[in-house]
Each structure stands twice: as structure tokens, then as C-alpha cells.
Amino acid sequence: MDFIDFNYVLTSVFTAIFGVFGIYHLASFLVLRHKILFYYFILILGLTLHWGLYLILKGSFGDEVLVIAEKASLTTAMITTYGLLMFTKNYLNIRKSNHPNLSKTYTIFKMIVVCLPIVHVLNALIIGEGWFNNILVMLAAITAMVSIFLNIFSGFRLYNAEKFNRYYLFSYAPLLLAAILYIGTWFMQRNYDINVNPIVLTTSILVTLQLILFSILVGFKFKSIEEENIKTQVEINKMLTKEVDKQTKNLQLAKESLEKQNGELETVNKLKNKLFSLLTHDVRGPLNNITVLVEMIEAHLTDDDLKRITKKLKNEIHDRVSMVNALLEWSYKQLEGIKLNKKICDIEEAFNSIRNEFERMTEEKEVRLIFDISHPKLCIDENMFKVILRNLTSNAIKFSSKGQQVILSSQREFGKIEISVQDFGMGMNTDWYSKLDDDLMPQIREGTNGEKGTGFGLLITKDFVEMNGGEMICESENNKGAKFILRFNPSAEV
């Protein structure tokens, strides 16, 4: 170039301005991640590339570069159009859900804008038909112009749909005027030899003004979004505060109700303990006294028929006392807050206590209690230990025949302390254990002399053994007797 082309310099300046706008909004998109910024960047990128082609066409480049630049103008124009369509669609909040017809129209135009450059490039590379190229160029120009009017129509159509939609129309005038001038000049240039430099300069100024207005629009849009977000957050915070206050009041009421219920439960528990004490001292004691009284009467009777009646009465009373004892022991186990009082127990002393307790019963059935003590001590709750031995020994005597023996033993086997009660009488089915796990009583059976029980004995025994850290095992065969083994860990040993 022999002299400086003033229009060339102005176009270079405007191309640089467009480029700066594009870089700024690309950076904004990368930070804010909002689609409207990305589509705005595509719009500016298309403008920058399109204006940049003028620099090539007016520069001192080879013929091949000029041909490529001329062919590329359609692509850059469609990039600009695509960016403008998507920017408008996003700004006006046009979606399939709220504006289905407009959304479908934008989708059709978007497909046309994308397909035109592809077909244009394929024609240039493969077919090379000039007339077809002219049709594509003409179609691209029409598409660009119709897209601009589609955007204007959308602005009018959605003028009152959202707060900032009306500003879109007010700011659209420079772009509309620039598009009319640019496309109109492009049509005239194809038929007439006119100087396009003033028009290029004018459109450059108008487009720059349009970019500034669009940037202001985007700023207002983001400000509006931020205000809406803050407003929404404030409303959510108010709702959360209200809900928290409500839940706090509910929790306070629940706490007061729970405290009231706890007080009532404590009162009921004290009443239950008093009732248990009453049953223990005022019910069980008199029943035992009645048994003694019947025995005294029996000792002074000489009539055999009366003796048979008193003997039967004594047995009935004994069965009832056994039932009451079992029920009281069961109730004791069910009391809340029961605590173990473990201490070192002398096993032989506990066995002797059981012998004394069942002396009359063993004499009547002529059953012998035999002790086999090879391990003398055990750390256990003494009261529970006696209840356990009492229940197992009572069952053993009950199901033994006249002249048989019951063996109470203690030993240490395989690192465990074992206490066992064995009889050689009726025996039982060992499936009783699964019933105990389900808190179901074993089937109640009569003893060898018609003795009756409650079925609570094995339940109490099993629970008391487990509460002291042990396990209870039953080995039995029908008509060969039963052996109950209480197995405790070495920690139970002294």
C-alpha cells in the first residue's frame, strides 16, 4: 500500500474493539458460568471475524488468501447471527415450557444458521458450482435479516413478560439500523459500483454502540438476577427461621410432656415396687404359714381318711405357693433398674441351703440330693444364684420317680465354670430352648406325683443366668432324665 487507507485504519480499530469486548465477555463467562455471556461472546466473535475479513480483503495478500476470505464471510456472518439468536432467546427467557411456538421458531432458525456454512464449505470443496454458491450467499443474507426481525418480534411479543425485556427493544435500534445499512449496501454492491467505506464506518460505529448497550443490558440482567436471588434467599431465611421457631416450640412442648411422663413413670415405678414388697411380705408369708398349719393339723390326726384329705390339701397349697413364688421371682426380674450384686459365693453353702429348703419334698418322694463339688467358689449374685438352683432343683425332684437321685455339681471344664443339676426321671424335649428365646413358656407338664407348675421357672432361670454372664444348656432324653448345665466364663471365678 502506497498510502495509509483511513477506512483500513478505522476498521482495524473497530476490529480490535470487538476483540476486546469478546475477550472480556469470554472471561466473564468462565468466571460466572452463565449461558447468556457465552452466547454474547459468540456474537462478538462473529463480528470480530467478519470485520477482520475486511482487513484481509484490503490488505496486500495473495489471490488464494483473498478467495478464502471471500468464502469465509458467509461463515462469519452466520456465527454472528447464531450468537444474536441465542443471546436474544436466553435474554428474553424463551423456553419450550413457557413459549413453545417461539422456541420452535428459534430452533428452526438455529438449524438453518448452522447448516448454511456447512453446505457452503462442502460446495466450495467438492461441487464448486458458482450459481449454487450465489444462492447460499443470498439465503444467508436473507436469514440474517429475518433473524433480526424475529428478534424484534420476540421483543414486542414478550415486552411485559419480564422486567428487563422492554429494555431489549430500546437498545436494539443501532443493530437494526446497522443491519439494514450493511445488508442493503451488500445487495447494492452486487449490482452497482458504489463506495462502501462510509457505510462500513457507519455500521462499525452502530455495532460498537450496540455492543455497549448489550453489555449494559447484561449488567442490568445480572443485577436483577442477583436481587432476585437475594430476595429469594431472604424469603427462604424467613421461612427457615419461622420453621426453626416452630420446631423449637414443639421440642419445648415435647420436653415438658416427656418430663411430665417421666415423673408419672417414676411415681408408677415406686408404686410398683411397693406393690411388689406387699406381695412378697403380705401374700407369700401367709401362704407359707398355711402350709405349716396344715402340717400341724395333719400331725394330730388319727383318721386315715382325714389324713388323705389333709395330704391332698397340703400338696395343693404347696403347688400354689410354688406358683406364687415363681410369679414373684418373675416380677422381680422385670423390675426396672434391677442391679446385680455380685459377690463370692460358697457353692456348697448354696447347695446345702437348697437341700434344707426341699427336705420335706425329697422325703415324701424318697429322692436323694447328692452333691459333687470339685470347684467351690463362684462370683455371682447370691439371691439370683439361689433362685436358679431352686427352680432347677424343684423341676428335677418334680420329674423324678420314687427312689431316684438328683445330682448338684460344680466343676471346671475347658476353662469354664460349670454348675449342673441332673435328674434321672421323665426327661423333656430339648426344643424348649427355642421357645425360651422367643419368651414363650415351655409346655407345662405334671410331675411324677401329679405336681403342677407355672412354667415360669425355666424362663427366670435362663434370664438370671444370662444376666450374670453365663449360658444355660439342656441335655435330655425322654424317660432318661435331664441335665441342666450353667456355664460361666473364668471371670466369674475367684
Question: How much is the pLDDT for 280?
Answer: 57
My answer on whether 227 and 84 are in the same domain is: yes
Domain assignment of residue 345, yes or no? yes
419 neighbors 347 (Cβ within 8 angstroms): yes
Percent of the chain with pLDDT over 90: 11
Strands, E assignment, 9-65: none
Lowest mean pLDDT among 50-54, 94-98, 312-316, 359-363: 312-316
Measured N-to-C along each axis, helices 130-157 and 100-122 cross at an angle, to the nearest 10 degrees, of: 160
Lowest mean pLDDT among 87-101, 207-221, 439-453: 439-453
Question: How much is the pLDDT for 73?
Answer: 80
Q: Which of 211, 240, 269 is the last residue of a domain?
A: 240
pLDDT tier at 274 (50, 70, 90 boundaries)? low
Question: How much is the pLDDT for 74?
Answer: 84
Give the residues across from 476 on adjacent strands. 482
Q: Which of 356, 388, 385, 351 is nearest to 371 (CA)?
A: 351
Question: How much is the pLDDT for 383?
Answer: 81
Task: Compute CA 448 distance to the chain's CA centroid, rounded to the nearest angstrom.
Answer: 60
pLDDT tier at 476 (50, 70, 90 boundaries)? confident
My answer on whether 207 and 351 are in the same domain is: no
Query: What's the CATH number where 467 sits?
Result: 3.30.565.10
Question: How much is the pLDDT for 424?
Answer: 92
Mean pLDDT of 126-154: 84
Query: What's the CATH number where 15 sits?
Result: 1.20.1070
Question: How much is the pLDDT for 16?
Answer: 84
pLDDT tier at 136 (50, 70, 90 boundaries)? confident
Q: Which of 378, 313, 389 is nearest to 356 (CA)?
A: 389
Annotate 444-467 with b (16+ C-beta within 10 A) or e (fewer): eeebbeebbbbbbbbbbbbbbbee
My answer on whether 83 and 232 are in the same domain is: yes
My answer on whether 54 and 196 are in the same domain is: yes
The three-state (H, E, C) secondary structure of 100-117, written as one string: HHHHHHHHHHHHHHHHHH
Residue 485 makes CB contacts below 8 A (sequence gap 6+) with: 418, 419, 420, 472, 473, 474, 475
Question: How much is the pLDDT for 233?
Answer: 81
Q: What whole-number distance in Å separates Cα of residue 233 and Cα of residue 66? A: 56
Mean pLDDT of 260-285: 67
Domain assignment of residue 288, yes or no? no
My answer on whether 217 and 350 are in the same domain is: no
Model confidence over 397-418: pLDDT tens digits? 888 888 899 999 999 988 889 9
Mean pLDDT of 384-406: 89
pTM of the full structure: 0.45
Question: How much is the pLDDT for 1?
Answer: 41
Question: How much is the pLDDT for 52?
Answer: 77
Mean pLDDT of 131-141: 85
Question: How much is the pLDDT for 296?
Answer: 75
My answer on whether 224 and 92 are in the same domain is: yes
pLDDT tier at 371 (50, 70, 90 boundaries)? very high
Q: Is residue 112 pLDDT above 60, yes or no?
A: yes
Domain assignment of residue 483, yes or no? yes
Q: How many H-runs (helices) and E-runs (strands) does the chain carry? A: 15, 7
Q: Is residue 372 pLDDT above 90, yes or no?
A: yes
Range of the domain at 196: 6-240
Q: Is residue 151 pLDDT above 70, yes or no?
A: yes
My answer on whether 234 and 366 are in the same domain is: no
Around Cβ 194, how many Cβ atoms within 10 Å? Answer: 11
Residue 135 makes CB contacts below 8 A (sequence gap 6+) with: none
pLDDT tier at 370 (50, 70, 90 boundaries)? very high
Secondary structure of residue 274 in the 3-state scheme = helix
Q: Which of 192, 225, 240 is the last residue of a domain?
A: 240
Task: Compute CA 347 distance to the chain's CA centroid, rounded to the nearest angstrom.
Answer: 54
Burial of 486 (0-12, 13-18, 19+ CB in 10 A): buried
Domain assignment of residue 276, yes or no? no
How many domains does the structure of the chain reveal?
Answer: 2
Q: What whole-number distance in Å separates Cα of residue 463 and Cα of residue 330? A: 10
Q: How far is CA 39 from CA 12, 100, 129, 155, 391, in A?
A: 24, 21, 33, 17, 89
Lowest mean pLDDT among 120-124, 155-159, 442-446: 442-446
My answer on whether 175 and 54 are in the same domain is: yes
Mean pLDDT of 455-467: 80
More confident: 150 or 222 = 150
Q: What is the dihedral of CA 459, 462, 463, 468, to 10 degrees?
A: 160
Q: Is residue 305 pLDDT above 80, yes or no?
A: no
Domain assignment of residue 362, yes or no? yes
Domain assignment of residue 445, yes or no? yes
pLDDT tier at 294 (50, 70, 90 boundaries)? confident
Q: Is residue 264 pLDDT above 60, yes or no?
A: yes
More confident: 442 or 263 = 263
Strands, E assignment, 239-364: 342-346
Q: Which of 201, 217, 240 is the last residue of a domain?
A: 240
Mean pLDDT of 323-332: 63
pLDDT tier at 104 (50, 70, 90 boundaries)? very high
Burial of 108 (0-12, 13-18, 19+ CB in 10 A): exposed
Helix (H) or strand (E) holding 352: helix 347-357
Q: Is residue 56 pLDDT above 50, yes or no?
A: yes
Q: What whole-number distance in Å separates Cα of residue 487 and Cα of residue 168? A: 89
pLDDT tier at 3 (50, 70, 90 boundaries)? very low
Q: What is the dihedral of CA 256, 261, 264, 270, to 10 degrees?
A: -120
Residues in the chain: 494
Q: Is residue 466 pLDDT above 70, yes or no?
A: yes
Question: How much is the pLDDT for 440?
Answer: 56
Question: How much is the pLDDT for 349?
Answer: 92
| Mean pLDDT taken over the chain | 78
pLDDT tier at 432 (50, 70, 90 boundaries)? low
More confident: 431 or 5 = 431
More confident: 317 or 406 = 406
Q: Is residue 2 pLDDT above 50, yes or no?
A: no
Domain assignment of residue 308, yes or no? no
Q: Is residue 259 pLDDT above 50, yes or no?
A: yes
Return the C-alpha cell found at 494.
475367684
Percent of the chain with pLDDT over 70: 72
pLDDT tier at 494 (50, 70, 90 boundaries)? very low
